[in-house]
Amino acid sequence: MAYVVSRLLVFIVMSVGSQVEFVKKVESNTLWETRIVYSPARLGPELERLAMIGDAWWYRWIAVDGYSMHPFDERPANWAFFPLFPLVVRFARITGNFAFDAAIVSNLALLAALILLRDVAIRTGLDADAADRAVFYLAFFPTSYFLSLPMSESLFLLLSLASFNAAQRQRWWLAGIAGALATATRAAGILLLPALLVREKPRPAMFWLAAIPAALGAYMTFLYFVTGNAFAFADVQVGWGRHPGWFFQPLLDYVRHPFAMGERWNLLAFNFIVAILLIATALVLFKGREWSMATYVLGSALMPLSSGSLQSLGRYAVVVFPLFLLLGRAGRRPLLHQALLAGSALLLGVFVALFVLRVDFALA
């Protein structure tokens, strides 16, 4: 139900928005005259146009043509994007169209992730109602529309949940393999290693977790032979305005200028709130001695903050599943639950509408 209702909201807003025509400027050139005429023939191409934004093009480039094969420089390049998601889409070939194939992969991964999230929640100690709330909070998170786009978020969410779930069941071989696949999907997968290591005392079976850094090492080795720089995936981020620094610097910069609500490609106020929410979640989990979840959340907050920017924090947070487990626990009060769910659904609708209108921060 969480999947169906939340995806219907996303799909309906995107479908209606794709049919909007901006006819001409009126009222002394201050307003757009618009019309909406539903055309089944236009729906597919327009949805493809909407979906293929930003990172989706980089993943398509990798899926179709592979990685850039030239020495490293600091211009934007597809080395920043890890290989598993485009490879899965390439070999799936459901329709032959990258946008639709990748969206299908993302949505199937999201559905599986929501099912797995509930099992992880129950094994973490949440009752059935709290687990259900966690699923709804994730499905309706304001940036959860990225989980249905031709991007890697859903696949990474599924694999990171699978790794945690396998560790909960003491199946360390599966935890290591799923963690390695998550790391082959996004660099943040490496955060699974410390998170799973602190679960309990080391044992021989946990040697399987070595597959997680091995996956990162394999990609770095590939980049070294291609570009001459094993860290090309990180160093090329300079081309997007990201520079290594102290994690607290972006937070301090915003506190100094709190009325700067947003800038190009960055809704500062929302991303700042999400960053604080992630850090607060980590602290609450540490206080409750939930070391594994707390370590994962804290790393998931500090890694992007250490790039010197708040940009896309809201998007990155949607895959940090312990946040939603904690919210599921906190939402036992009916009034708070209704406020959280209604507020999230409202913001999700607004963000999708802004995405359809190509407002830059909704694309990042």
* Contact status, residue 299 vs residue 195, Cβ threshold 8 Å: yes
pLDDT tens per residue across span 268-325:
999 999 999 999 999 999 999 999 999 999 999 999 999 999 999 999 999 999 999 9
Please determine, for residue 265, whether its predicted confidence score (pLDDT) is greater than 90.
no
Please determine, for residue 260, whether its predicted confidence score (pLDDT) is greater than 90.
no
Q: How many CB atoms lie within 10 A of CB 334?
A: 8
Residue of 259, 314, 361 whose CA lies nearest to 353? 361
Spatial CB neighbours of 83, under 8 Å, sequence gap ≥ 6 = 62, 67, 184, 219
> So what's the pLDDT on residue 57?
95
Please determine, for residue 78, whether its predicted confidence score (pLDDT) is greater than 90.
yes
Average the pLDDT over 235-256 and give the result. Answer: 90
In angstroms, rounded to a whole number, what is the distance separating the alpha carbons of residues 177 and 194? 15
pLDDT tens per residue across span 21-70:
778 888 777 887 888 888 888 888 989 998 998 899 999 999 999 999 99
Q: How many CB atoms lie within 10 A of CB 21?
A: 12
> So what's the pLDDT on residue 29?
78
Report the amino acid identity of residue 300: S
Which CB contacts under 8 angstroms, 24+ apart, belong to 153-156? 153/106, 153/315, 153/318, 153/319, 154/105, 154/106, 154/107, 154/109, 154/110, 154/113, 155/84, 155/85, 155/88, 155/105, 155/106, 155/109, 155/185, 156/85, 156/182, 156/185, 156/186, 156/188, 156/189, 156/319
* Contact status, residue 161 vs residue 147, Cβ threshold 8 Å: no
Integer-rounded Cα Rg, in Å, for the chain is 21
Please determine, for residue 261, whether its predicted confidence score (pLDDT) is greater than 90.
no
Task: For residue 3, name the pLDDT band (cuts at 50, 70, 90).
Answer: very high
> So what's the pLDDT on residue 222?
97
Query: Which is more confident, 356 or 22?
Result: 356
pLDDT tens per residue across span 326-351:
999 999 999 999 999 999 999 999 99
pLDDT tens per residue across span 163-178:
999 999 999 999 999 9
CA atoms within 13 A on the CB side of 123: 16
In angstroms, rounded to a whole number, what is the distance separating the alpha carbons of residues 108 and 130? 24
Task: For residue 206, name the pLDDT band (cuts at 50, 70, 90).
Answer: very high
In angstroms, rounded to a whole number, what is the distance separating the alpha carbons of residues 161 and 296? 12
Query: Which is more confident, 22 or 216?
Result: 216
